[in-house]
Structure 1
């Protein structure tokens, strides 16, 4: 019998290696902090002072959501590009609470793998830090987990939990939506963070495409197209709300596409008609659609199909919103894509 004593690293979990990687980035992480954070990194939990929030909101309501990046992380591993995933995580979570009109405050992250590689972890965190600073979100803590036997070799699971705030009187829930209201949308940049399992099945199982192959129809390599960043719509939407533009309902087009996400904000007596030709037709979706016969309903339920975020309201209000963005030279553009009709919380796709 060997006299060598065993440690956790022998079982595949190297705590020191992970802690060292996180500690090296602690000064950068703390640049996302505001005076509301009362304790440094490394505690059992983050302490967040609500006094400043109470001063700016009549009846502050905390809004929380959790989301992950699914199998987009597999594409990142194959491309060895993880930085962008940090931006994706911030956008995916911030857009979810934005639906209620909430301003993001803080983010907690969860990163797990069979064995965490320090450089990969650093790259992920650097992306999160940059995205958090861009949106004035405090990266207040997180969890890293090495679980050999649970995850495949080299695969990562990336999840975030976001907290935001909105005044109770200004919560947007779609209750005033009525037939005749207009539906406007921001375009997506690509798959964002959803539909990757079907995309990978089409590209790498039904066919044998290479990630590094340049495609004229996409104007970039396939890998670059698949890793296009998940757009964060927080800045333009909060800016419009601050200008007094009345938005009755909003939807982040994530998992479930427009088919499942739009009904979540509709009153029971309403449905939506979407004109498929009133917003940009991204080449990636046309390409994926050409690879195998897929029912239209399934396409629009799996992929965002070019629609990233939807706003519902009176025609004039949302036309004013579109004009406001144009006037202020925003990089975001609103498209008038449809209208609300009588119905039962469903989406109709029109030519």
Structure 2
């Protein structure tokens, strides 16, 4: 059969099988950089195969998570900086399973675009590899889809899926939280990957900031660099904390901010009182709040406000926690405490 009925016709419709094959060959060596024990087969087959080391766990359970990076994709395209998006994607997925006490094992990605441009898309995958290396996960497989007509030229979307492992009895689900427990905040690296629809409206549409323009409150940094700063991956930090003390809960502060995320792990009859002046809010959030005329209540419900991870511990573990965080040169603050209540965050000045 002639080529006109195969690659030629399909390519004319906007999908190139040959380009897809070149893409797979380009990312195979990148994926191999994430190799770790347990991989049986990886990218290129119908499915990735992984054999966990179940012997390390008395009652092993698998923990899974999936997420995307939201409209930060549009900011990356505006800034023409794509390498951080892969790190963002890994962070959003890996942090979510690590807060439950899981050790990440492997990662799968989904990359959809109107037309696959290998040179432009490769930095995304390079960032994905960096993220997987930091989270100690194998990039086991994924899906790349060209969908002309659904995505405009230059547009693409990302989604990720990860699997980890934990001892069933060591799952961290907040059940041991009690009134009087201490609540600590760990610094974020910036906006992370949530709230960008509002940030874009205020900064890109309202203030008309340009990617190469200096940031007023940080003149040595451009707006492009500041806004695409990758989300922190807290996996190794949480693993280290788990090794030295008993944790009531970890909370990954994503969409919904402190207001919506902390209640997800609170047992019945408890709330958390957060002192809003107990940590320094990074200037980017204050700038967005001022320029967008946004009240503090909404800011706390949209953005992480400088706190990317919350750790809740009983009082007897506070010294162990702060000593460990100091040994890791972490920026942290005691931001509140657990109180009796109905499962909400109560803000106090």
Range of TM-score over shorter length: over 0.9
Contact kept? 1:236, 1:332, Cα under 8 Å: no
Contact kept? 2:188, 2:231, Cα under 8 Å: yes
2:45 aligns with: 43
| Aligned ranges 1:1-351 → 2 under 5 Å | 7-50=9-52, 53-219=53-219, 220-243=221-244, 245-326=245-326, 328=327, 330-351=328-349
Separation (CA, whole Å) in 2 of partners of 1:112 and 1:318: 45
Instruction: Give the 3-state SS of the residue equivalent to 1:13 in structure 2.
Output: coil
Instruction: Give the 3-state SS of the residue equivalent to 1:209 in structure 2.
Output: coil
- In structure 2, relative to structure 1, the CA distance for the partners of 1:250 and 1:184 (3 Å cut) is same
Separation (CA, whole Å) in 1 of partners of 2:260 and 2:325: 28
Contact kept? 1:73, 1:157, Cα under 8 Å: yes
How much has 1:94 moved relative to structure 2? 0.9
Please give the per-residue CA displacement for 1:186-220, whole angstroms capped at 9, x wherever unaligned.
11111100000110011122332222210230341
Contact kept? 1:187, 1:279, Cα under 8 Å: no
Separation (CA, whole Å) in 1 of partners of 2:287 and 2:303: 13
- Could you tell which deviates more after superposition, 247-256 or 76-85? 76-85
Instruction: Give the 3-state SS of the residue equivalent to 1:290 in structure 2.
Output: helix
- In structure 2, relative to structure 1, the CA distance for the partners of 1:189 and 1:110 (3 Å cut) is same
Separation (CA, whole Å) in 1 of partners of 2:178 and 2:236: 27
Contact kept? 1:247, 1:318, Cα under 8 Å: no
Contact kept? 1:285, 1:305, Cα under 8 Å: yes
- In structure 2, relative to structure 1, the CA distance for the partners of 1:109 and 1:341 (3 Å cut) is same
Unpaired runs of 5+ residues, structure 2, are none
How much has 1:31 moved relative to structure 2? 2.6
Separation (CA, whole Å) in 2 of partners of 1:86 and 1:331: 25
Separation (CA, whole Å) in 2 of partners of 1:47 and 1:65: 18
Contact kept? 2:43, 2:142, Cα under 8 Å: no
How much has 1:4 moved relative to structure 2? 6.2
Q: RMSD value over aligned CA atoms?
A: 1.6
Question: TM-score by structure 2 length?
Answer: 0.94
Separation (CA, whole Å) in 2 of partners of 1:334 and 1:305: 13
Separation (CA, whole Å) in 2 of partners of 1:119 and 1:37: 28
Separation (CA, whole Å) in 2 of partners of 1:247 and 1:40: 35
Please give the per-residue CA displacement for 1:102-124, whole angstroms capped at 9, x wherever unaligned.
11110000111111210122111
